């Protein structure tokens, strides 16, 4: 007898229980343990790479947010630095006996020009202009430069900055609530943009440290972050690194922080701008995250191995008894599908692959019955849902009225009231009241051209009241077009866009022409202004954003009109923007005339 047959005979002589034990050990337990060891090694490397990538993402996210907060302060500083009106008001010699002059020229005007920045940039805590003009009442936004100011560290640093914008952090050692000190992160520069002035002027924009501290605290789960200035001091960090010595508070140097040799260190400059020179954001990752996730992975792999061994061993014992019966049952029910009989398999299917297959079969059979019964209902529901979605989007677009129009109008009413003793505001209140009443009472989606023009003219009268002779307008409407119906708010947003972005930015008077006419069975509506105009690249960007439904700053009114026309007319309308820089802009759209006619007008033309 050959050796191989002897081995088979010996295997055949072994009891079935022993065979199952050998199969379980050699074919189940050993492979499972080996695979789990390999899986543990792979998962460990993957966890390490993923956590390190999370550290980098956290660092980059914090860096980007901090840079943006500081750049907002730079934007405020640049705006004030180049504002000629502020220079004139700072250099003006005020009469101490004329409080009205001081209030109107200085307090009201300068305060209004500074206050607007706080509404836009919430991360600015304070804006202060230091001046040598002693006729100004020191306080608020303006402080007179005295010996105490000249002795401060930030003033001395500004003297050595050669007029450049400077990012500087310092501590004022005085009582601030329970902290007994206050730290500042400020953008400082000499105001010398307009050289004709003869006063010393210094602008200081203080960043609200709470915003940056919020960014640092947000990332503390992953990193300990330190903002280090060009002197190596920790000016802001996840934890407080201000120390006290002899009742004097100072920033701690980053070199005093103990860093372990194996620590990963993120150390990069905050930015490329000159005011960021040698400013760094340093991040030290929290290694405890890696240790915790590695420990959880080991526990998971061990638990998975134990469960796999137990379940696999149990299945080996019962598989030969269970599979044959269940497979036959499954095959029998599948054969009934040809007769359109979708009966469920009612047996104890088990938890293995065959059991899962039976459960999936039962789900499939039940779902086929449900689909056959509900297919027509689903089609009807789909159409209803689509109509609701379109209506919801239309309502959303209609609700986007720019609140600045109302705020600017109310501000105009206030100014005229102070100047004219409440005698010249009757008309503007009337127009505003009619405008608001029309907005609240307009229920129909389609209105006549006459109604839309009346609403637009009320808006223009209010704008003319605000800017006096700066705005002139002309409305040209074909008589045959007045009773045609168009989507409401199709013209006024274009006119508002022309006033806000076109005419307000030019010197001298601005002209707006609204023209509505019927051309070759199409209704053509255009709004033309002689404003500042738009560059070709910007026009292309606006048109692309409207088609792709992407928000672009300054184009929300045009985009809403475009989306509204698209909802009502699909591809049966045309939209144009013709503009040249400093020569004005013309926005025009055409829609099918038969779609715009009221029933009465359409029948008379037919």
The model's confidence at residue 435, banded by pLDDT at 50, 70 and 90, is low
Burial of 310 (0-12, 13-18, 19+ CB in 10 A): exposed
Supply 36's token pair. 């789990």
Distance CA 250, CA 240 (A): 11
Q: What is the pLDDT of residues 281-299, one digit of tens each?
A: 999 888 788 788 888 878 8
The model's confidence at residue 6, banded by pLDDT at 50, 70 and 90, is low
CATH domain 55-285 topology: Beta-Lactamase (3.30.450)
Q: What is the pLDDT of residues 67-92, one digit of tens each?
A: 999 999 999 999 999 988 888 888 87
Closest CA to 578 of 527, 517, 544, 514: 527
Bin 570: left if φ > 0, else alpha if -120 < ψ < 50, else beta.
left
- Domain boundaries defined on the chain: 55-285, 291-393, 403-605
Alpha helices, H only, 106-226: 109-120, 147-150, 153-159, 209-218
Distance CA 562, CA 479 (A): 25
Q: What is the pLDDT of residues 244-291, one digit of tens each?
A: 776 677 888 888 877 776 677 888 998 888 889 889 999 988 878 878
Closest CA to 447 of 477, 479, 481, 486: 486
Is 264 in contact with 55 (CB distance < 8 Å)? yes
Burial track 429-440 (b if 16+ CB lie within 10 A, e otherwise): eebbeebeebee
Supply 547's token pair. 């088609």
Closest CA to 503 of 475, 527, 476: 527
The DSSP bridge partners found for residue 448 are 485
Per-residue model confidence (pLDDT) at position 555: 67
Alpha helices, H only, 82-126: 84-91, 99-101, 109-120
The CA dihedral of 144, 147, 151, 156, to the nearest 10 degrees, is 60
Q: What is the pLDDT of residues 463-488, one digit of tens each?
A: 887 777 788 889 999 988 888 988 88
CATH, domain range 403-605: 3.30.565.10
Per-residue model confidence (pLDDT) at position 542: 85
Per-residue model confidence (pLDDT) at position 180: 62
287 or 562, which is more confident: 562
DSSP 578: E
Per-residue model confidence (pLDDT) at position 603: 34
DSSP 319: H
Give yes or no for residue 597 having a pLDDT over 50. no
Q: What is the pLDDT of residues 168-190, one digit of tens each?
A: 998 876 655 555 678 889 999 99
Is 149 in contact with 130 (CB distance < 8 Å)? yes
Per-residue model confidence (pLDDT) at position 202: 92
């Amino acid at each position: 007898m050959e050796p191989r047959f002897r081995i088979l005979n010996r295997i055949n002589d072994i009891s079935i229980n022993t065979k199952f034990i050998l199969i379980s050990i050699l074919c189940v337990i050993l492979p499972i343990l080996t695979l789990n060891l390999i899986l543990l090694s792979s998962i460990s490397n993957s966890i390490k790479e993923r956590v390190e990538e999370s550290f980098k993402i956290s660092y980059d996210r914090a860096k980007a947010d901090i840079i943006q907060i500081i750049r907002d302060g730079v934007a405020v500083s640049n705006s004030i630095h180049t504002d000629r009106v502020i220079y004139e008001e700072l250099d003006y010699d005020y009469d101490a006996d004329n409080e009205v002059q001081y209030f109107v020229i200085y307090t009201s005007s300068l305060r209004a020009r500074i206050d607007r920045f706080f509404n836009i940039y919430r991360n600015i805590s304070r804006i202060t202009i230091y001046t040598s003009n002693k006729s100004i009442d020191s306080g608020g936004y303006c402080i007179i430069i005295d010996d105490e100011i000249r002795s401060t560290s930030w003033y001395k640093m500004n003297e050595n900055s050669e007029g450049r914008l400077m990012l500087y952090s310092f501590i004022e050692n005085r009582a601030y609530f329970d902290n007994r000190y206050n730290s500042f992160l400020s953008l400082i520069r000499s105001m010398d943009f307009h050289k004709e002035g003869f006063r010393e002027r210094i602008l200081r924009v203080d960043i609200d440290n709470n915003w940056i501290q919020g960014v640092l605290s947000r990332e503390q789960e992953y990193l300990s972050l330190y903002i280090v200035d060009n002197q190596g001091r920790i000016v802001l960090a996840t934890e407080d690194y201000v120390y006290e010595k002899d009742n004097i508070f100072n920033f701690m140097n980053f070199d005093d922080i103990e860093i372990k040799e194996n620590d990963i260190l993120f150390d990069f400059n905050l930015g490329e701008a000159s005011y960021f020179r040698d400013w760094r954001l340093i991040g030290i990752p929290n290694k405890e995250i890696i240790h915790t996730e590695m420990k959880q992975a080991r526990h998971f792999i061990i638990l998975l191995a134990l469960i796999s061994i137990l379940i696999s061993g149990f299945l080996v014992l019962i598989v030969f008894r269970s599979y044959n019966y269940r497979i036959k049952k499954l095959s029998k029910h599948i054969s009934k599908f040809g007769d359109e009989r979708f009966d469920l398999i009612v047996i104890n299917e088990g938890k293995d692959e065959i059991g899962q297959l039976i459960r999936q079969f039962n789900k499939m059979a039940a779902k086929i019955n449900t689909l056959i019964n509900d297919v027509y209902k689903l089609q009807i529901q789909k159409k209803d849902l689509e109509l609701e979605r379109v209506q919801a989007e239309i309502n959303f677009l209609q609700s986007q009225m720019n609140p600045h129009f109302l705020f600017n109008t109310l501000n105009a009413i206030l100014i005229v009231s102070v100047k004219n003793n409440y005698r010249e505001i009757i008309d503007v209140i009337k127009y505003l009241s009619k405008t608001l009443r029309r907005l609240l009472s307009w229920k129909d989606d389609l209105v006549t051209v006459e109604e839309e023009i009346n609403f637009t003219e009320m808006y223009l009268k209010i704008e003319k009241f605000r800017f006096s002779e700066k705005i002139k307008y002309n409305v040209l409407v074909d008589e045959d077009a007045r009773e045609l119906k168009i989507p409401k708010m199709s013209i006024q947003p274009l006119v508002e866009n022309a006033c806000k972005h076109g005419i307000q930015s030019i010197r001298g008077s601005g002209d707006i022409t609204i023209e509505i006419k019927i051309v070759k069975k199409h209704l053509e509506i255009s709004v033309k202004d002689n404003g500042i105009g738009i560059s070709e690249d910007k026009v292309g960007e606006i048109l692309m954003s409207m088609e792709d439904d992407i928000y672009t700053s300054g184009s929300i009114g045009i985009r809403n009109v475009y989306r509204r026309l698209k909802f009502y007319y699909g591809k049966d309308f045309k939209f144009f923007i013709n503009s040249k820089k400093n020569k004005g802009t013309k926005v025009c759209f055409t829609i099918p005339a038969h779609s715009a006619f009221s029933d009465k007008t359409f029948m008379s033309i037919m």
